[in-house]
Each structure stands twice: as C-alpha cells, then as structure tokens.
Structure 1
Amino acid sequence: MGRAYIVEEVVEKYLSKIWAPDSAGSSFVTGLLIGQNSSQRDFVVLAVKTPQKDTVGQGPSYVSRRAGISLDDLDVEWITEHARQVCQMLPGGLSVLGVFLVTVPELSKEAESTLRQLVFAIDKHVSKGHLWSLTEEDVTEKVTLHICTKTRKAVCRTFNIHDPKSSAKPADWKYQSGVCSSWPMLTCSVEVDILIPVLKTQVLPQDTVKCVKEGLRTWAKQIENGLCLINGKSLPEEAELVPGQKKITKPVQQIFQAQILIPMEDLQSEQRSTASVKMCSGSLTLKGMVHCLAYIQSNRPRVKHAAEVIKRDIINTVSSRVEIFLEDLLIEGENKGPATVQQLLPLRVFAPVPNMRLCACDYMFPDECLSDVSEHFKEMLDWVTPEDSIDFSQEAISGHTTMNLKATSTVKAHPETPFKDPNIAPKSNNNYYIGNHG
C-alpha cells in the first residue's frame, strides 16, 4: 500500500482556482506542495505555483503555448531555484514534499516523466544546502500530483528520491479541514557565536566560501548533538510531547519554549583532534541572536521529533543568512591587500499564513521596508500579506536594540601569523562577525 497524504482543504481551493487559461492558450502550470512528513502519513498544508520568470519577449517559464504543445519548454532550473528560495521561507517542520502539475489533456502522457524529473531535480538542488544530517526516520519519498484541466482528475504518485531507478508508486490523496489547526508550535531564541578560520591557501572567494561552509557544518553538528530542553525540562526522547493527549472538539495550538544546550568537549575523549599550526589569512566570526520557530504534527508527536524540527530551523536560519553574505562575496571577487567590509545581514521576519495557524518567514535587508517583504511573499508564496501583519520584532530586544547578523571583513591577502587549528583563530582584526546594531 502506498503512502497516505492528508491535505488541507485550502490546498483544494487553491488548485481549483489556479487554472485560468490566458488569451495565448496556456497549456500547463507547475508548483510546489508544502507540508510535513511523519512515519505513518504525510500532511500537505500549502500549494504554491511557480512564479513567472521575466524574460525579454517571452512568457512565463512555467507556461507552454498550444501552438507547440509539449512539456519540453518547462524550465527545470527556474522551478528548482523557486523551491530553494521557498525552503528558506519555511519554519522548522515544514518542507517541500513534492510538486504538482496541471496540464491540458494532450500533455497527460508526458506528466509522469516530467514530475519525476522535477522531484529529483528539486531534491538535489535543495538538499545540497542542508547542513544537518538525515536520520533513518526521514521519509525519502516525494509526492507528485497531476491534474487534468478537462476532467479535473487528480493522480497522486510518489518517488523514492534516494533511488535513481525509482518508479512511480500510487498514493492516497485525501482532503480534510483543519489539518494543522492544532499543531504544537516550538519557539527558541539562540545566541550564535561561531569562529571559522580562513587559511592562507584559501585566498580565492570560492575557497573562502568552501571554508566557511565547512566551519558551519562543524557548528551544525554541535547543534544537532545538543540537549534540547522543552519548557525548561529535559524529557526522554521517546516521551510524548503532549502527554495524555485526548481528542477535543475545538482545536487548540500549544506553544512550547525550547532551549538548546551545547555540551562541553570531553577533554578525555580518545577522539579529540590534535592541534596543528597553519597560516591564517583571516577568520569569520558569527555573533548575535536569532529567533527560531517550528511546527510538528499533532498525532502523538515525540520529544525527539520536536527537538529535531527546532534544531533544523536554527541551522537553516543561520546558514540561509550566511549564504546571502557569501553570494555577495563571490560577486565582489578577490580583495587586493587588507580589506575591511562591514555588512549587516538580513533580519528574520514572520507573517501568518492566510487561513491557518502557521507562520512563514522572510529576511528583510537593512535597506528594505515592509512593502518589499510583502511583495516578496506575494512573488514566492503567491499570497497577499498586509504590511501590518508582518512581525519584525522577534529578533529585537529592549525596544531599540536589535540583534541581527552583521558581517565585518578584514582579510589580508598575505597572512603572516600562524595559528593553532582546529577551530581556534587568533584574536585579531582579521574576521567577519555578526553583532549588535542600533
């Protein structure tokens, strides 16, 4: 028997309205299916169509014209990039579960192979940015949904994205109201203090990017191995997050405060690394406070699963913002001689998902305003977000002081001072850091 997908009714309404052939005769539309996996069944709470890709003299990349009816014109690269950006806007516990494809009847035969291509391409593009490790309990099947515009028939299938030879398996697709209305929510504010040395041999921007990502992986492993306190208590991993859970007539969303404790390194450990001396051209220091948010399905969730979703959100929000900084670094190219750069990384803001007890997030740059964020929500997630509904206060403290990611770079092209490795750099001015700003 195939997997079962419990789908929010909002998704059904969205898909029923998404098909509106224009005067040019659109023949297909693609989009993402967003939700949460569990061991027994999966939950789909959002569907988001692929946004238009503006090109000179051409239509949207996800639209084919009847004059040359084919799915060959489908822009896989654009669809996968949209999926990557959407993943950055999702809180912990939510992810892209698969894709949907709405086509005219003539394209139905091509649908399955196209959907297979998309789910594999999206997983490859998105997963390469993950700094956390998969577990044995992580679901490896991705869902695809094909809808015919004439018959309105929906065909749901899954593919095992860890098996390149995987064939389609039938799956059950069932609509239900209030799927996520009682999902527990976990919140957590984390103080970040990461120091990553940049070696003398890593003088090119590409080398620096690789070095920083490796350093972030080391930090991410510490977060994964950390102890997660729920409402200030250390609970058994297999314990239920909501003990004695009973069915109630009115859905109630419970909120839990999480705290991550990083254990001190065991100095007696036989696995401790041996220090070595290497030349350093600078370092990256990340400092500041980040606010994290995660949801977990309400069918007897376990403590270990709650800890997992909030830890992954911590890792994702830091890596997403550092990735933005690294992209700018690559654009700037090599620095000649000593260079000093201060760059404020974007603030994490939150907005409610329409008609649901869920929030999505975005990252607001220092030179952006709420209207820019609202526009980005519309572009990426295809819904209207009033400016007054956007919460930008979660990473702010004391009313006037905001803890946010800031990068300061003073990397010398010709380093002179050796340092002991691993993970210990000299207290010099050769670093990037994240700090306070007023």
Structure 2
Amino acid sequence: MVKAVVGEEAQLKSTEDRLSSSSIPAQVGLVIGKLSSSLDRGFVFSLIPTPPNDEGRPACSLVEPVKDDRRKGAKQSKSQGSSDSSSVVIDKDWVAEHARQVSKMLVGGIRVIGIYVWASESAFKNSTVELCQTIKGVAGAAPPLLGTDTEERLLIHISYSPRRWTCRNYVMASNITSSSLKPCDFKMGKVLSSLQKFRCTYNFNLRLPVNCEKTFDARKLGDVLRSGISVIAKELRSARAIVDGNLVTDDEPCTSEGFHDVELLLPFMNDTCLEASSLENVVGILLFSGSVCSFAFLSSKESILQAIADIKADIITSLQSRLDIILDEADADLSQSDNSCKESSPDIQTENLISQVDLQSLRKPSGLSFPRRVFAPWLAGTLICDYLQPSETLEVLKDHCAELMSMEVLIDSSNILEPEGEAPAVVAKGFWDVAAPLHSDSKSLSEKPGADAKSEGSSQKSNKQSSFNAVAAILVLLLSVLLGFLFLSARS
C-alpha cells in the first residue's frame, strides 16, 4: 500500500503555473512516475495533459445541472464552474487511449501510475465515480508484466478553489464507492536528480514452428510471435544479472553515478522449444531473432534487484509494442485491400505481407523487420522511446513527443539515440526447410547470386568424391557377402 508520494517539485510547479495562467475550468491528464511496493512510496516525475480528441473536444469538461442552466443561462464561466452543483465529465476512452500510447514511449522503471485532474473542490467531490472509472480505464490500457506492477493507482487533485494539492490512492480490486479513494501523504522535492540509470542489450534467436492451418493470416502470425515472446519472458525470469562486471547476489541499493551496464545470463542449454511438433503438422517455421536495447531508472532507495526486474519487464514490453504495431498496420492494409482502396493508395503492397505468405508453397525465405527502437532525452537525464518503421524518419519521433508527451521544445536530432543496429526480425521458411534442411541449405547455396567458377568447381569435385565413396562402399559390401558365402560353403 502506497502511504506517501513525493513529486518532482520543478515539474509540478511548472504544471501549476501553466494551469493557473489558463482560463480552462477543468483538465485531466496522466501521472508519470513509479510506485514502489517495497518502500510503500510513490514517485511522481511529471504530469502530462491529455490532448483534445479527434473532433477537437477537450478530454475533460465541467457540467452544471439542467435547472442551473435554465436559471443562469447556457454560458458557463470559471466562477460558475466552481458552484457546489458542478461535476467533471471525462472522455474515459480517449484518456485510456492516451495512456496506452504514452506507456509505449516509457522505458523501464517509468510508468503511467494514475491521473490528475484540475478542478474545484466541489466539482472533484461530485465526480468520484467518474474519476474512479477513468483510473480503471487507464490501468487497463497498460497491463502489468512480470509481476513488477502493483494494483494501486494515484489520483492527484489540483484545486484552484481553494488552491492546494491532494493525492489519493485507489486500489484496483475495490468497488467504486465514495470510500474507494484513500488519502495519502503528498509532498514535493527533488526526485529526478537522484535516479540511478541502467542499460542493457538483450539478444535472442528463436525457431517457432507453424502448424498446419487452412490460412496463415495476421492473427495466426500474431499468435505464433506472442508464443515466442512468452518463451523469452520465461527465459528472463530465471536469468541472472551482471552489473558493471559484478554478479548481482545481494538485495542492496546502488549508489554510484552514471549509467550501469547490465548483462543478463541465461541458463545454459535452456530448452526454448514451444512444444513437440511432428513434421506431419508443421508447414513452416518462423525465425524470430534480433537485439533489444533497454534502459531503466531506479530510485536511490530501491534495491538493484528492482532495476533488474524493470529491465526484464521493459524488454518484454518493447517486443509486444512492436508486435502490436506490425499487426495494426497489417489489419489496416487488409481492410484497405478489402474495400478496394488500392487505387487511392498505390504504395500499399499487401502481397508483400508476411502474414499472407503460403508456407507450403514457399521456396525462398520471406522476411519482416520489426520497428526499431529509438530514444530521446526527456527530464533530467531520463529517456523516452518510440518505434519507427524502416520507411519512417526521426520526424515521427518528434511529432509523437509533441503530441503525446506535451514536449514543447523540439528535440535536436543529434541527441536522439539509435543503439539498435538491426531491429528484431521475423523470417518465414517453408515446409522443405523443415523437412529437409540440408537439401534446402545446399540448394540455397548453389543458387546464391555471385557464385564464381571456383565455387562451382569445388561443388562438382565434392559431388564426384561423394559418388566415388558410395561406389566403394557398395563394392566392399558385396565382397563381404561373397567371402562370407565362400566361408560357409567351405565349412559345410
């Protein structure tokens, strides 16, 4: 249970000044930070306002009862919004979607831990159910991974009448009642400057069997790759960690400054097969391999084991986020194809989608690259990330930072990190690569472009040598049978 919350003073004061100077009667947004179950404390790094929806309407507004509208008129003002009968109305689905998009841009140890609301004291008290439902929607948009998340979320109320900050704790398992929100201590201080920084690069290489199906569509592709990601998650649970060259054995805090390099040690000869599959049921395989770069940020009072858990959770979250992007684009391409929109969108080539490959008739491997992960500086040395397709540029990252993270200052391209040399990729191979891999390999080598006369000569020489060995083996076998027959005849 989170009993105390500490917020980054510089960021929260900046948010308060921005809201005070504006004329908006209500606003809702996301609370970015970290909840520590071991310390029973919460850390708030920043407050991000939810942008207007696709129709240009704000995500939060104040409403008055109908009788007040008739008596006072339809025009609302800030003073009218502070009446005892006003309440907050929130576009809960839009706030949840904002939380889903922002959570993809956060790295290890930094999460969406709740919402904040800017409203009067009376409007806040009249909107308990609305606020609790919004918190539940935000929590559902970013489900926990690897047991690193808690069942609690924060609700920060910034009141302008009277002017004060309050923080409440909401337990997800509780019913929505007037007593669902529990008050907790809240204060401001320096949080970001004391964070410990960790980085890790995780390499993986999986062979995922594809069982016989009538169709191999995007949904089937997603199921196979999610199974592969679950295998990686199982590996990471039992992985040991080396931090700055030292094996982590004690649950102690880390106090040194700068980035700490983390290396994950997987169990030796770990079996990563999903399940036993006979060749009769397998029509192809997916080669899922690549490298994932991960960063994590830890409070100075937390143990180093928590940083390792945050790194592992960030790796899985990164892979799942990339898979979601691939499947969303595949669904969009297929829907446009079904609606005969190719004439208006000639650049879309649905026949190149790996989800539409016929593995039984496949003769050459078909590949698909996952979006690559890039990192941008955020607050006080922390980082946020985004995922770019091969055809996308860094301008997409800048647009997402401005739209989703409410970053007003444009990011200098020289400060953007691109540590992943090659993004994770999926390669589909057909039936004959599974049933006769040696034949497939030799065939692919012989058909490799650019082969010179020397390689052809060596191939012919090896074929002649193998033919001679086969003939010699047959002659030896016949000679052995003949000698055995003569020996038996002599004894009889």
Q: TM-score, normalised by structure 1?
A: 0.78
Q: Distance in 1 between matches of 2:89 and 2:313?
A: 35
Pairwise CA distance, 1:226 = 0.9
Match of 2:221, SS state, is helix
Pairwise CA distance, 1:393 = 4.3
Given the alignment, which residue of 399, 412, 415 partners 1:375? 399
Give 1:148's aligned amino acid: S
Give 1:205's aligned amino acid: A
Give the equivalent residue in structure 2 for 1:435: none
Give the equivalent residue in structure 1 for 2:206: 194
- Please say if 1:175 is aligned against 2:188: yes
Given the alignment, which residue of 9, 28, 31 partners 1:30? 28
Given the alignment, which residue of 110, 127, 139 partners 1:123? 139
Q: Deviations over 1:148-168 (max 9, x none)?
A: 333223331111113446821
Unaligned runs of 5+ in 2: 65-73, 335-354, 442-492
Unaligned runs of 5+ in 1: 246-251, 397-401, 420-425, 429-438
Give the equivalent residue in structure 2 for 1:94: 110
Query: Which of the pair has the greater relative contact order for Cα pairs under 8 Å at 6+ separation?
Result: 1
Give the equivalent residue in structure 2 for 1:423: none
Q: Deviations over 1:194-215 (max 9, x none)?
A: 3333322373433432332232
Pairwise CA distance, 1:353 = 1.6
**Change beyond 3 A, Cα 1:281–1:328:** farther
What are the residue-to-residue correspondences of 1:332-343 with 2, within 5 Å? 332-333=333-334, 335=356, 337=358, 342-343=367-368
- Please say if 1:141 is aligned against 2:165: no
**Change beyond 3 A, Cα 1:97–1:274:** closer
Pairwise CA distance, 1:262 = 1.2
What are the residue-to-residue correspondences of 1:229-240 with 2, within 5 Å? 229-238=242-251, 240=252
Give the equivalent residue in structure 1 for 2:331: 330
Give the equivalent residue in structure 1 for 2:100: 84
Q: Distance in 2 between matches of 1:2 and 1:407?
A: 42
Give the equivalent residue in structure 2 for 1:43: 43
Give the equivalent residue in structure 2 for 1:280: 282
Pairwise CA distance, 1:17 = 3.3
Q: Distance in 2 between matches of 1:59 and 1:113?
A: 22
How many residues get paired? 392
Q: Distance in 1 between matches of 2:247 and 2:300?
A: 20
**Change beyond 3 A, Cα 1:214–1:63:** farther
Give the equivalent residue in structure 2 for 1:431: none
What are the residue-to-residue correspondences of 1:409-428 with 2, within 5 Å? none
Pick which of 281-290 and 31-40 moved more. Answer: 281-290
Pairwise CA distance, 1:47 = 0.9
**Change beyond 3 A, Cα 1:161–1:82:** same
Pairwise CA distance, 1:192 = 2.6
Pairwise CA distance, 1:281 = 4.2
Q: Is the Cα contact below 8 Å between 1:37 and 1:43 reproduced in 2?
A: yes
The share of aligned pairs that are identical, in percent, is 25
- Please say if 1:158 is aligned against 2:169: yes
Pick which of 193-202 and 3-12 moved more. Answer: 193-202
Q: Is the Cα contact below 8 Å between 1:347 and 1:404 reproduced in 2?
A: yes
Measured on the aligned residues, the alpha-carbon RMSD in Å equals 3.4
**Change beyond 3 A, Cα 1:111–1:388:** same
Pairwise CA distance, 1:330 = 2.8
- Please say if 1:224 is aligned against 2:274: no
**Change beyond 3 A, Cα 1:406–1:336:** closer
Give the equivalent residue in structure 1 for 2:296: 294
Q: Is the Cα contact below 8 Å between 2:253 and 2:300 reproduced in 1?
A: no
Q: Is the Cα contact below 8 Å between 1:198 and 1:211 reproduced in 2?
A: yes
Q: Is the Cα contact below 8 Å between 1:349 and 1:391 reproduced in 2?
A: no
Q: Distance in 1 between matches of 2:193 and 2:30?
A: 21
Q: Is the Cα contact below 8 Å between 1:91 and 1:313 reproduced in 2?
A: yes
Q: TM-score, normalised by structure 2?
A: 0.70
Give the equivalent residue in structure 2 for 1:405: 424
**Change beyond 3 A, Cα 1:416–1:329:** farther
**Change beyond 3 A, Cα 1:29–1:391:** same
**Change beyond 3 A, Cα 1:19–1:216:** same
Pairwise CA distance, 1:109 = 2.6
Greater helix percent: which structure?
2
**Change beyond 3 A, Cα 1:389–1:14:** farther
**Change beyond 3 A, Cα 1:65–1:143:** same
Q: Is the Cα contact below 8 Å between 2:210 and 2:286 reproduced in 1?
A: yes
